[in-house]
A and B are shown apart, each in its own frame.
Chain A
Amino acid sequence: MSDTCKFKIDGKEIIAKKGQTILEAAKENGVFIPTLCNFTGVKPKGSCRICSVKINDRFMTSCTTPVAAGMEVESNTEEISDLRKSIIELLFVSGNHFCPSCEKSGNCELQALGYRYQMMVPRFPYSFDKKNVVATGPKLLKDQDRCIKCQRCMKTIKDDEGKRYYAFKNRGRDLEVVMDEEMSKTITDELAKEAMENCPVGSIIYKGVGFSEPIGTRKYDKQPIGSLIETN
Protein backbone atom coordinates (compact mmCIF):
# COMPACT_ATOMS: atom_id res chain seq x y z
CA MET A 1 0.00 0.00 0.00
CA SER A 2 1.31 3.41 -0.93
CA ASP A 3 2.14 5.73 1.91
CA THR A 4 1.19 8.82 -0.08
CA CYS A 5 -2.18 10.14 -1.13
CA LYS A 6 -3.48 12.86 -3.40
CA PHE A 7 -5.97 15.59 -2.68
CA LYS A 8 -6.70 19.09 -3.93
CA ILE A 9 -6.35 22.58 -2.51
CA ASP A 10 -8.20 25.18 -4.60
CA GLY A 11 -8.03 22.76 -7.51
CA LYS A 12 -4.25 22.26 -7.25
CA GLU A 13 -3.18 18.66 -6.85
CA ILE A 14 -1.28 18.02 -3.62
CA ILE A 15 0.75 14.91 -2.94
CA ALA A 16 0.86 14.19 0.77
CA LYS A 17 2.23 11.55 3.08
CA LYS A 18 -0.46 9.71 4.95
CA GLY A 19 -0.83 11.02 8.49
CA GLN A 20 0.28 14.51 7.55
CA THR A 21 -1.94 17.45 8.33
CA ILE A 22 -3.35 19.57 5.50
CA LEU A 23 -1.10 22.41 6.61
CA GLU A 24 2.09 20.31 6.43
CA ALA A 25 1.17 18.90 3.04
CA ALA A 26 0.28 22.36 1.71
CA LYS A 27 3.62 23.73 2.86
CA GLU A 28 5.55 20.93 1.16
CA ASN A 29 3.63 21.54 -2.06
CA GLY A 30 4.23 25.29 -2.18
CA VAL A 31 0.81 26.38 -0.94
CA PHE A 32 0.79 28.99 1.82
CA ILE A 33 -1.80 28.75 4.56
CA PRO A 34 -1.38 31.39 7.27
CA THR A 35 -0.67 30.28 10.86
CA LEU A 36 -0.14 31.98 14.19
CA CYS A 37 -0.47 29.52 17.08
CA ASN A 38 1.06 26.68 15.09
CA PHE A 39 4.80 26.15 15.52
CA THR A 40 7.15 23.58 14.03
CA GLY A 41 7.86 20.83 16.56
CA VAL A 42 4.85 21.63 18.72
CA LYS A 43 1.69 19.54 18.65
CA PRO A 44 -0.89 21.67 16.77
CA LYS A 45 -4.05 22.60 18.62
CA GLY A 46 -5.99 24.78 16.15
CA SER A 47 -6.74 27.58 18.59
CA CYS A 48 -6.11 30.74 16.56
CA ARG A 49 -8.28 29.50 13.64
CA ILE A 50 -6.33 31.54 11.11
CA CYS A 51 -5.38 28.39 9.17
CA SER A 52 -9.06 27.56 8.66
CA VAL A 53 -9.95 25.98 5.33
CA LYS A 54 -13.24 24.71 3.98
CA ILE A 55 -13.77 20.99 3.40
CA ASN A 56 -17.18 19.71 2.35
CA ASP A 57 -18.63 23.11 3.16
CA ARG A 58 -17.34 22.98 6.73
CA PHE A 59 -14.61 25.10 8.28
CA MET A 60 -11.73 23.03 9.64
CA THR A 61 -8.35 24.09 10.98
CA SER A 62 -5.77 22.82 8.53
CA CYS A 63 -3.10 22.44 11.24
CA THR A 64 -5.10 19.72 13.01
CA THR A 65 -6.95 18.03 10.14
CA PRO A 66 -5.18 15.00 8.65
CA VAL A 67 -5.13 14.59 4.90
CA ALA A 68 -7.43 12.09 3.21
CA ALA A 69 -7.22 10.87 -0.36
CA GLY A 70 -9.47 12.75 -2.75
CA MET A 71 -10.52 15.52 -0.36
CA GLU A 72 -11.16 18.91 -1.93
CA VAL A 73 -9.98 21.79 0.18
CA GLU A 74 -10.86 25.45 -0.32
CA SER A 75 -8.26 27.84 1.05
CA ASN A 76 -7.57 30.95 -0.95
CA THR A 77 -11.15 31.95 -1.66
CA GLU A 78 -12.67 35.37 -1.07
CA GLU A 79 -14.79 34.05 1.79
CA ILE A 80 -11.91 32.37 3.63
CA SER A 81 -9.52 35.27 3.04
CA ASP A 82 -12.09 37.59 4.59
CA LEU A 83 -12.50 35.25 7.55
CA ARG A 84 -8.75 35.22 8.08
CA LYS A 85 -8.60 38.98 7.72
CA SER A 86 -11.33 39.35 10.34
CA ILE A 87 -9.29 37.22 12.77
CA ILE A 88 -6.26 39.45 12.19
CA GLU A 89 -8.41 42.53 12.74
CA LEU A 90 -9.86 41.11 15.96
CA LEU A 91 -6.36 40.47 17.27
CA PHE A 92 -5.34 44.03 16.39
CA VAL A 93 -8.31 45.65 18.17
CA SER A 94 -8.32 43.39 21.23
CA GLY A 95 -4.66 44.06 22.02
CA ASN A 96 -2.83 47.35 21.82
CA HIS A 97 -0.66 46.92 18.76
CA PHE A 98 1.17 50.23 18.30
CA CYS A 99 3.30 49.12 15.36
CA PRO A 100 5.29 52.40 15.06
CA SER A 101 6.69 52.00 18.58
CA CYS A 102 7.13 48.21 18.63
CA GLU A 103 10.59 46.64 18.48
CA LYS A 104 9.21 43.66 16.59
CA SER A 105 7.75 45.77 13.79
CA GLY A 106 8.91 44.45 10.43
CA ASN A 107 9.59 41.00 11.91
CA CYS A 108 6.11 40.51 13.40
CA GLU A 109 3.97 37.69 12.01
CA LEU A 110 0.68 39.33 12.96
CA GLN A 111 1.70 42.55 11.24
CA ALA A 112 2.95 40.61 8.21
CA LEU A 113 -0.44 38.89 7.95
CA GLY A 114 -2.07 42.33 8.16
CA TYR A 115 0.06 43.31 5.15
CA ARG A 116 -0.64 40.11 3.26
CA TYR A 117 -4.39 40.44 3.70
CA GLN A 118 -4.22 44.23 3.11
CA MET A 119 -5.75 45.33 6.38
CA MET A 120 -6.10 49.09 5.96
CA VAL A 121 -8.28 49.54 9.04
CA PRO A 122 -9.92 46.96 11.32
CA ARG A 123 -13.70 46.70 10.90
CA PHE A 124 -14.11 46.38 14.69
CA PRO A 125 -13.79 49.17 17.27
CA TYR A 126 -10.53 49.33 19.23
CA SER A 127 -10.80 48.15 22.82
CA PHE A 128 -7.74 50.00 24.17
CA ASP A 129 -7.76 47.65 27.13
CA LYS A 130 -4.95 48.76 29.42
CA LYS A 131 -2.58 45.91 30.20
CA ASN A 132 0.75 45.62 31.97
CA VAL A 133 4.34 45.48 30.88
CA VAL A 134 6.37 43.21 33.13
CA ALA A 135 10.04 44.09 32.86
CA THR A 136 11.44 42.81 36.14
CA GLY A 137 13.58 40.03 34.63
CA PRO A 138 17.15 40.80 33.62
CA LYS A 139 16.93 39.68 29.98
CA LEU A 140 13.31 39.67 28.86
CA LEU A 141 10.25 41.83 29.14
CA LYS A 142 6.67 40.77 28.60
CA ASP A 143 4.30 43.31 27.08
CA GLN A 144 0.76 42.06 27.70
CA ASP A 145 -0.62 44.70 25.33
CA ARG A 146 0.78 42.74 22.41
CA CYS A 147 0.25 39.14 23.59
CA ILE A 148 -2.11 37.08 21.41
CA LYS A 149 -1.98 34.07 23.78
CA CYS A 150 -0.80 31.68 21.10
CA GLN A 151 1.13 29.63 23.72
CA ARG A 152 4.18 29.26 21.50
CA CYS A 153 6.46 30.53 24.31
CA MET A 154 4.76 28.23 26.81
CA LYS A 155 5.40 25.18 24.68
CA THR A 156 8.87 25.88 23.34
CA ILE A 157 10.79 27.75 26.04
CA LYS A 158 11.80 25.21 28.67
CA ASP A 159 14.80 24.61 30.93
CA ASP A 160 17.02 21.49 30.86
CA GLU A 161 14.51 19.55 32.94
CA GLY A 162 11.66 20.47 30.62
CA LYS A 163 10.17 22.98 33.04
CA ARG A 164 8.30 25.80 31.30
CA TYR A 165 9.29 29.45 31.69
CA TYR A 166 5.86 30.73 30.64
CA ALA A 167 2.40 29.80 31.89
CA PHE A 168 -1.20 30.98 31.89
CA LYS A 169 -2.47 33.13 34.73
CA ASN A 170 -6.10 34.06 35.52
CA ARG A 171 -9.06 33.00 33.41
CA GLY A 172 -11.53 34.30 30.83
CA ARG A 173 -10.90 37.85 29.68
CA ASP A 174 -8.25 38.29 32.39
CA LEU A 175 -6.19 35.42 30.98
CA GLU A 176 -2.51 36.30 30.61
CA VAL A 177 0.66 34.51 29.62
CA VAL A 178 3.21 35.30 32.34
CA MET A 179 6.85 34.45 32.86
CA ASP A 180 8.02 32.69 35.99
CA GLU A 181 9.82 35.44 37.92
CA GLU A 182 12.34 33.18 39.64
CA MET A 183 13.21 31.26 36.48
CA SER A 184 13.49 34.47 34.45
CA LYS A 185 16.46 35.53 36.60
CA THR A 186 18.61 32.67 35.37
CA ILE A 187 17.50 32.25 31.74
CA THR A 188 20.41 31.89 29.34
CA ASP A 189 21.07 34.48 26.66
CA GLU A 190 20.44 31.95 23.95
CA LEU A 191 17.07 30.86 25.30
CA ALA A 192 16.02 34.46 25.92
CA LYS A 193 16.70 35.32 22.29
CA GLU A 194 14.83 32.21 21.19
CA ALA A 195 11.84 33.29 23.29
CA MET A 196 11.71 36.61 21.45
CA GLU A 197 12.19 34.86 18.11
CA ASN A 198 9.41 32.34 18.77
CA CYS A 199 6.90 35.01 19.77
CA PRO A 200 4.85 35.81 16.64
CA VAL A 201 4.26 39.36 17.89
CA GLY A 202 6.28 41.79 20.03
CA SER A 203 5.07 40.54 23.38
CA ILE A 204 8.38 38.96 24.41
CA ILE A 205 11.23 41.42 23.95
CA TYR A 206 14.92 40.78 24.55
CA LYS A 207 16.16 43.71 26.61
CA GLY A 208 19.04 46.03 25.77
CA VAL A 209 18.70 45.85 21.98
CA GLY A 210 15.98 47.45 19.96
CA PHE A 211 15.32 48.58 16.43
CA SER A 212 18.69 47.13 15.42
CA GLU A 213 17.60 46.33 11.87
CA PRO A 214 16.97 49.34 9.63
CA ILE A 215 13.62 49.70 7.87
CA GLY A 216 13.86 48.01 4.50
CA THR A 217 16.01 45.11 5.69
CA ARG A 218 13.61 43.44 8.12
CA LYS A 219 11.96 40.09 7.49
CA TYR A 220 8.67 41.27 6.01
CA ASP A 221 9.68 44.65 4.56
CA LYS A 222 10.03 43.48 0.97
CA GLN A 223 8.55 39.99 0.81
CA PRO A 224 5.08 39.03 2.04
CA ILE A 225 4.85 36.35 4.71
CA GLY A 226 4.58 32.94 3.04
CA SER A 227 6.42 33.91 -0.13
CA LEU A 228 9.28 31.54 0.76
CA ILE A 229 6.81 28.64 0.84
CA GLU A 230 5.25 29.71 -2.44
CA THR A 231 8.53 29.92 -4.32
CA ASN A 232 9.64 26.47 -3.14
Chain B
Amino acid sequence: MSKKIIATTSLAGCFGCHMSILDIDERILDLVELVEFNKSPIDDIKVFTKQCDIGIIEGGCCNSENIEVLKYFRENCDILISLGECAIMGGLPAMRNGIPIEECLHEAYLDGPTVKLNTQKILPNDSELPMLLNEVYPCHEIVKIDYFLPGCAPRADLIWDALVALITGNEMDLPYEVVKFD
Protein backbone atom coordinates (compact mmCIF):
# COMPACT_ATOMS: atom_id res chain seq x y z
CA MET B 1 0.00 0.00 0.00
CA SER B 2 1.42 3.35 -1.00
CA LYS B 3 1.60 6.00 1.67
CA LYS B 4 -1.27 8.45 1.89
CA ILE B 5 -0.28 12.08 1.56
CA ILE B 6 -1.44 14.52 4.23
CA ALA B 7 -1.42 18.31 4.27
CA THR B 8 -2.34 20.48 7.24
CA THR B 9 -2.89 24.15 7.88
CA SER B 10 -3.92 26.51 10.66
CA LEU B 11 -6.27 29.30 9.55
CA ALA B 12 -7.91 31.40 12.30
CA GLY B 13 -6.79 28.96 14.97
CA CYS B 14 -4.30 28.90 17.82
CA PHE B 15 -2.26 25.87 16.69
CA GLY B 16 -3.76 23.93 19.58
CA CYS B 17 -5.22 21.38 17.17
CA HIS B 18 -1.77 20.86 15.65
CA MET B 19 -0.42 20.41 19.17
CA SER B 20 -3.10 17.79 19.66
CA ILE B 21 -1.92 15.98 16.51
CA LEU B 22 1.54 15.81 18.12
CA ASP B 23 -0.15 14.60 21.29
CA ILE B 24 -0.53 11.15 19.70
CA ASP B 25 2.90 10.63 21.31
CA GLU B 26 4.92 7.64 20.12
CA ARG B 27 2.17 6.69 17.68
CA ILE B 28 3.69 9.38 15.49
CA LEU B 29 6.28 6.75 14.56
CA ASP B 30 3.48 4.53 13.27
CA LEU B 31 1.97 7.51 11.51
CA VAL B 32 5.10 8.19 9.44
CA GLU B 33 4.91 4.57 8.27
CA LEU B 34 1.36 5.19 7.03
CA VAL B 35 1.58 8.70 5.61
CA GLU B 36 3.85 11.31 4.17
CA PHE B 37 3.34 14.99 4.87
CA ASN B 38 3.15 17.60 2.15
CA LYS B 39 2.24 21.27 2.73
CA SER B 40 2.11 21.66 6.48
CA PRO B 41 3.54 23.79 9.28
CA ILE B 42 4.92 20.54 10.71
CA ASP B 43 7.47 20.14 7.88
CA ASP B 44 7.35 23.77 6.73
CA ILE B 45 6.52 22.91 3.11
CA LYS B 46 4.90 26.15 1.88
CA VAL B 47 3.28 25.09 -1.40
CA PHE B 48 1.65 21.87 -2.56
CA THR B 49 4.13 19.80 -4.54
CA LYS B 50 1.59 17.09 -5.41
CA GLN B 51 -2.07 16.19 -5.07
CA CYS B 52 -2.81 15.13 -1.47
CA ASP B 53 -5.21 12.54 -0.14
CA ILE B 54 -6.16 14.25 3.11
CA GLY B 55 -6.14 17.93 4.07
CA ILE B 56 -6.55 18.77 7.74
CA ILE B 57 -7.89 22.26 8.45
CA GLU B 58 -7.53 23.92 11.82
CA GLY B 59 -9.29 27.24 12.43
CA GLY B 60 -12.13 29.07 10.72
CA CYS B 61 -11.92 31.87 8.17
CA CYS B 62 -11.44 35.37 9.59
CA ASN B 63 -9.62 37.07 6.69
CA SER B 64 -9.09 36.96 2.93
CA GLU B 65 -5.90 34.90 3.24
CA ASN B 66 -7.76 32.17 5.19
CA ILE B 67 -10.28 31.90 2.34
CA GLU B 68 -7.51 31.71 -0.24
CA VAL B 69 -5.62 28.99 1.65
CA LEU B 70 -8.81 27.02 2.27
CA LYS B 71 -9.70 27.07 -1.43
CA TYR B 72 -6.11 26.11 -2.26
CA PHE B 73 -6.49 23.10 0.07
CA ARG B 74 -9.83 22.14 -1.48
CA GLU B 75 -8.24 22.11 -4.94
CA ASN B 76 -5.23 20.10 -3.85
CA CYS B 77 -6.74 17.60 -1.40
CA ASP B 78 -9.19 14.80 -2.14
CA ILE B 79 -10.60 14.79 1.38
CA LEU B 80 -10.83 17.77 3.71
CA ILE B 81 -11.26 17.45 7.47
CA SER B 82 -12.37 20.31 9.72
CA LEU B 83 -10.34 19.76 12.87
CA GLY B 84 -11.55 21.43 16.04
CA GLU B 85 -14.24 23.89 17.07
CA CYS B 86 -12.79 26.90 15.21
CA ALA B 87 -12.87 25.11 11.85
CA ILE B 88 -16.32 23.69 12.61
CA MET B 89 -18.09 26.73 14.02
CA GLY B 90 -15.63 29.63 14.03
CA GLY B 91 -14.72 28.98 17.66
CA LEU B 92 -13.46 31.73 19.93
CA PRO B 93 -12.52 34.07 17.04
CA ALA B 94 -16.21 33.97 16.05
CA MET B 95 -17.09 35.66 19.32
CA ARG B 96 -16.44 38.88 17.42
CA ASN B 97 -19.30 38.06 15.06
CA GLY B 98 -22.04 40.61 15.55
CA ILE B 99 -19.57 43.31 16.64
CA PRO B 100 -18.76 45.77 13.81
CA ILE B 101 -15.18 45.41 12.45
CA GLU B 102 -14.45 49.05 13.21
CA GLU B 103 -15.32 48.54 16.85
CA CYS B 104 -13.04 45.44 17.03
CA LEU B 105 -10.10 47.32 15.48
CA HIS B 106 -10.59 50.29 17.79
CA GLU B 107 -10.65 48.02 20.81
CA ALA B 108 -7.53 46.17 19.67
CA TYR B 109 -5.41 49.09 18.47
CA LEU B 110 -6.73 52.30 20.00
CA ASP B 111 -9.00 52.02 23.03
CA GLY B 112 -8.16 48.68 24.67
CA PRO B 113 -6.86 48.81 28.26
CA THR B 114 -3.52 47.25 27.23
CA VAL B 115 -2.90 49.57 24.27
CA LYS B 116 0.02 51.78 25.31
CA LEU B 117 2.49 52.17 22.44
CA ASN B 118 0.25 53.13 19.53
CA THR B 119 0.80 56.86 20.09
CA GLN B 120 0.16 57.71 16.44
CA LYS B 121 -3.21 56.00 16.63
CA ILE B 122 -2.55 53.80 13.60
CA LEU B 123 -5.00 51.13 12.49
CA PRO B 124 -3.27 48.43 10.40
CA ASN B 125 -4.14 49.20 6.79
CA ASP B 126 -1.24 47.99 4.66
CA SER B 127 -2.18 46.48 1.31
CA GLU B 128 0.12 43.55 2.16
CA LEU B 129 -2.10 42.60 5.07
CA PRO B 130 -5.04 40.27 4.48
CA MET B 131 -8.42 41.99 4.77
CA LEU B 132 -10.51 41.05 7.77
CA LEU B 133 -13.86 39.52 6.89
CA ASN B 134 -17.09 40.95 8.29
CA GLU B 135 -17.53 37.75 10.29
CA VAL B 136 -15.55 34.64 11.14
CA TYR B 137 -16.89 31.77 9.03
CA PRO B 138 -16.88 28.03 9.67
CA CYS B 139 -14.87 26.28 6.93
CA HIS B 140 -17.84 24.31 5.60
CA GLU B 141 -19.63 27.56 4.81
CA ILE B 142 -16.79 28.44 2.40
CA VAL B 143 -15.88 25.09 0.74
CA LYS B 144 -17.14 21.54 0.95
CA ILE B 145 -15.72 19.75 3.98
CA ASP B 146 -15.89 15.95 4.11
CA TYR B 147 -15.37 15.16 7.79
CA PHE B 148 -15.60 16.97 11.10
CA LEU B 149 -13.63 16.23 14.25
CA PRO B 150 -14.89 18.38 17.15
CA GLY B 151 -13.01 19.40 20.26
CA CYS B 152 -11.01 22.28 21.66
CA ALA B 153 -8.56 20.82 21.06
CA PRO B 154 -9.82 17.50 19.60
CA ARG B 155 -8.51 14.63 21.70
CA ALA B 156 -5.37 13.02 20.26
CA ASP B 157 -7.16 9.65 20.36
CA LEU B 158 -9.94 11.03 18.19
CA ILE B 159 -7.45 12.36 15.62
CA TRP B 160 -5.52 9.10 15.64
CA ASP B 161 -8.61 6.88 15.34
CA ALA B 162 -10.04 9.04 12.56
CA LEU B 163 -6.81 9.13 10.56
CA VAL B 164 -6.22 5.40 10.90
CA ALA B 165 -9.82 4.62 9.91
CA LEU B 166 -9.58 6.93 6.92
CA ILE B 167 -6.21 5.60 5.76
CA THR B 168 -7.05 1.92 6.23
CA GLY B 169 -10.63 2.29 5.00
CA ASN B 170 -12.08 0.80 8.17
CA GLU B 171 -15.18 1.87 10.10
CA MET B 172 -14.45 4.38 12.81
CA ASP B 173 -15.13 3.44 16.39
CA LEU B 174 -16.02 6.53 18.42
CA PRO B 175 -15.72 5.98 22.18
CA TYR B 176 -17.90 8.41 24.15
CA GLU B 177 -14.95 10.09 25.87
CA VAL B 178 -13.24 11.28 22.71
CA VAL B 179 -15.98 13.34 21.08
CA LYS B 180 -16.14 16.57 23.07
CA PHE B 181 -16.80 20.18 22.16
CA ASP B 182 -14.28 21.62 24.63
Contacts and interface: CB of A to CB of B under 8 A. Distances in A.
A121 B140 CA distance: 9
A111 interface: yes
Contact of B138 (A101, A118, A126): A126
A96 B136 CA distance: 13
Nearest to A106: B182
Contacts of B88: 120-121
Interface in B67-101: 82, 85, 88-92, 94-95, 97-99
Nearest to A119: B150
B148 A121 contact: yes
Nearest to B86: A100
A218 to B, nearest CB: 9
A118 B150 CA distance: 10
Contacts of A222: 176-177
Q: Dominant SS at the A interface?
A: loop
A99 B177 contact: no
A100 B152 contact: yes
Interface string A68-96: 00000000000000000000000010001
Contacts of B89: 92, 121-122, 126
A102 B92 CA distance: 11
Contacts of B99: 130
Interface of A: 92, 96, 98-102, 105-106, 111, 114-115, 118, 120-122, 125-126, 128-130, 215, 221-224
